[in-house]
Structure 1
C-alpha cells in the first residue's frame, strides 16, 4: 500500500472520528470552537491548536496501527491524529450507515448524572412515593392503602405506633365489625322473642275463646256436633219470591248491628195470641255463627255464601202444653241471598242434599221426631222460618188446631215489620 493510500484512509478515519466527536461533545457538555481563520479546530481537551502539518516519519515506524509508509506533508484537514484518545469515541461507525453505539460518559458527566439522580430521589421521597429510576421512568400508581379505609380517629390512635400502623388498624376494624355484628344479632333475637310471645298469646286466646283463626266478621262454615236431630218437616210451605212490602229492607246496611234476641223477642213478641190460642215465649238466643243452627252441608254453605252474619231464635209453647213452635230469623246480605237459603231449606229440592234446622229444646219430643209443619218467608234480607209441632210428636187432630198454631207463630216476626217501618222513615217514604 502506498503512502498516499495510507494517508487517504487515515485521513478519512480521522475525519469520521472528528465528526463523531463534534456530534458527541455538545451532548456531554464539552464545548469547543473552530478557528475558521486558521483553518483547523482547537483541541477539545483544552490543549494548544493543532499544527498545519505533521513532520515526516519513517515508514518502518507505524503510527497508531500497522500501516506501511507515512503520512503526507499536506495541510491538516481538521481531524484528529491516530494517537490514543480518551474522549467519547469508542470505535469505528457501523457498516451500512447503522448508528454507532452510545459513547461512554466522562467522569464529570458521571458526577453530574449522579447528582441529578440524587435530586430526583429527594424529590420522590418528599412527595411520599418511591424514587424514580430514570428520566423516562413513569410514576407507578400508588396502591390502595388499607389505612385510608379506616376512620381518621383510628389513624390518630396509631400515629405513634411506628412502622406498623396497618396491622393495628386492621385489628381495630375487625373488632369494630364483630361488635356491630353482635349488636345486630341481639336486636334480631329480641324481635324474634317479641314475635314469639305475641304468637303464643294469640294461640292462647284462641284456645280459651274457641274462636277460629281468621274468622272476623266473615261468615264461616261451622256445623253442629253429631247427635242432633235431623228431622225434616212433614209439611213445608214457602216461596223464594219476596213480597213488595219488604223492599225497604231488601239490602242489609254496611253498618247494621247483629241481631239481638232481647230486641227481637221482647215486647209484643213475648206472647202471641189469636182467638183462644196463646203462645208464650220460653227461651231465646242469638248467634254470630249461623251454620251452627242448621244441619246439611249444602244448607250451611248457602248461609255462608249468602253472607249470614247473625241469627236469632226463640221457642214457644201454648198454655195447655199441647203445641210447640220455634221461630228462627237469619240476617243475610240481601233478598237474593235470602231466597237462595230458602231454596236450600226446601226438602222438595232434589238438587241439594237435605238439611234443616236443629231444634232448640232438647226436652221436648216434638221437633225431634214425628210430625211437624214448617213455613219459610223471605222478608227482605231476612229469612224467617216458622216450625210447629205437637209436643208429643204425634200427628194433629182432625180439627184446625195445628193450622192455627202455625198462623199464630208467624206473629213472632213483629220486629221485622217494625224494621220495615223504620227503614221507610229513614228513606222519607
Structure 2
C-alpha cells in the first residue's frame, strides 16, 4: 500500500471521528454573523491546531516508518500555514466590513430566525394551532347565533300561547262551557223581581240529578219545538216571540255573584225564549241553564234570589227591548231546580205596571212553566236507561 493511500485513509478516519459542531447564531442590532464568521474568530491557530491534531492521529495510525512520518509532518505544517493565512485574510475582510451599513435582507433573515427559534422550531404546528383556534372561534359565534334564534322563537311561542289562553278566557266558548264572566252590555237593565219564589227540589228529577259525561249542549230545536210555541192556561195564552241558545251562560245574567255561581256550577249551555200574549199586554221570559249537578243548580237559584243578603245583587238580563216590562217597575219570577237544570220563569206587564187585584200575571207565570217540556222528556229517557 502506498504512502498516499495511508495518508488519505487517516484523514478520512479523523474526519469521521471528529464531533459534529452545532452552528452558533448570534444576532446583533447592527450585524448578522454566520458560522464562517465564528470560525474566523477562532483564528488560524485554533482551526489549524484542531485539524493538525485530528489529522495527525490519522497519519500516525496509517504510517509507521520514520520517513513516512517526516513527510506527513512537512505536509501538515504546510497546510496549517495555509489555513493561518486564510484565517488572517478572513479577519482582515471582516474588519473591513464592520463599519459598513447592515444589509436589509440580513436583518429580515435574522428576524425570521428569531421567530422560528421562539416558536420552538415548529412554525407549522403553531400555524395549525392558530387555524384550529380560529375555527373554534367561528363555531362559537355560530352557536351563539343559533341560541339567540332559539330563544327568540321560544319567546314568540310563549307570547302566542299566552294570547290564546287570554282569548279563551275572555270568550269562554267550547263544549266545556264558559270559564269566565262575560260583562253585560252598557246601559243594561238592573231590574230584580218584586216577587221571587224558588220551588223546592222535586224527587221526580232525581234521574237527571247529575249531568252525564259527554253530554252536549241544550238543543234549541228540541227545546223550542212546536209543542212549546204556544203556552195556554185558564184561557190565558202566550205565543213565542223569539228564542236562542248559547254556550256562554254568563251572557244571560248580570251581577258578579250570579255569574260566579254559574262558573262554579260548570254551566255548559243556556237557553232563553220570550213570550207575549195576543194583546201584547203581558210578557214572559223563560231561561234554562245546564249545570253539572242538582246542587249546582240550587246554588244558582239561591244567587238569583234578590232577598238573599249573603249574595251580591244580580238577576237575568231581559232579552227583548222596546217594552218597559222586565226593564223597569214591577215583575215577578219563579225558579225551579229540575235535576242538573235550573229553569227561571219571569213575567210582567209590558207597561211595567203593578197587577193590583188582577191574578192574570200569576196565571201566566204558571203557564210559562210549560216551556220546559223538553226537560221532562229528559227525565223519562233517563228512567228507561
Query: Same fold by TM (over 0.5)?
Result: yes
Q: 330, 337, 362: which is aligned to 2:321? A: 362
Q: Given the alignment of the two structures, is residue 323 of structure 1 paired with residue 269 of structure 2, yes or no?
A: no
Shift of 1:369: 1.0
Q: Given the alignment of the two structures, is residue 296 of structure 1 paired with residue 258 of structure 2, yes or no?
A: no
What residue is the counterpart of 2:266 in the other structure? 307
Q: Given the alignment of the two structures, is residue 378 of structure 1 paired with residue 337 of structure 2, yes or no?
A: yes
Distance 2:355 2:195 in 1: 12
What residue is the counterpart of 1:248 in the other structure? 207
What residue is the counterpart of 2:217 in the other structure? 258
Which of 1 and 2 has greater Rg? 1
Q: Is the 2:172–2:179 contact (alpha carbons within 8 Å) kept by the matching residues of 1?
A: no
What residue is the counterpart of 1:352 in the other structure? 311
Q: Is the 2:169–2:179 contact (alpha carbons within 8 Å) kept by the matching residues of 1?
A: no
Alignment RMSD (CA, Å): 2.8
Q: Is the 1:287–1:310 contact (alpha carbons within 8 Å) kept by the matching residues of 2?
A: yes
Q: Given the alignment of the two structures, is residue 269 of structure 1 paired with residue 252 of structure 2, yes or no?
A: no
Q: Is the 1:264–1:415 contact (alpha carbons within 8 Å) kept by the matching residues of 2?
A: yes
Shift of 1:397: 5.1
SS at match of 1:385: strand
Residue ranges of structure 2 left out of the alignment (5+ in a row):
1-120
Shift of 1:213: 7.9
Distance 2:352 2:298 in 1: 29
Q: 277, 293, 297: which is aligned to 1:338? A: 297
What residue is the counterpart of 1:414 in the other structure? 373
Q: Where in structure 2 are the equivalents of 1:8-23 lying within 5 Å?
A: none
Q: Given the alignment of the two structures, is residue 230 of structure 1 paired with residue 195 of structure 2, yes or no?
A: no
Task: After superposition, give the CA deviation of every residue in 1:355-409 in whole Å (9 maximum; x if it has no partner).
Answer: 2111111212100112111000001111100001111111125333212211110
Mean alpha-carbon deviation: is it higher for 213-222 or for 392-401? 213-222
- TM-score normalised to structure 1 length: 0.56
Shift of 1:410: 0.4
Q: 170, 173, 176: which is aligned to 2:132? A: 173
**How many residues get paired?**
264
Q: Where in structure 2 are the equivalents of 1:33-44 lying within 5 Å?
A: none
Mean alpha-carbon deviation: is it higher for 304-313 or for 272-281? 272-281
Q: 180, 200, 212: which is aligned to 2:170? A: 212
Q: 1:205 to 1:335 in 2, by over 3 A?
A: closer
Residue ranges of structure 1 left out of the alignment (5+ in a row):
1-161
SS at match of 2:382: helix
Query: Which has the higher relative contact order, 1 or 2, with Cα contacts under 8 A spaced 6 or more apart?
Result: 2
Q: Is the 2:270–2:288 contact (alpha carbons within 8 Å) kept by the matching residues of 1?
A: yes
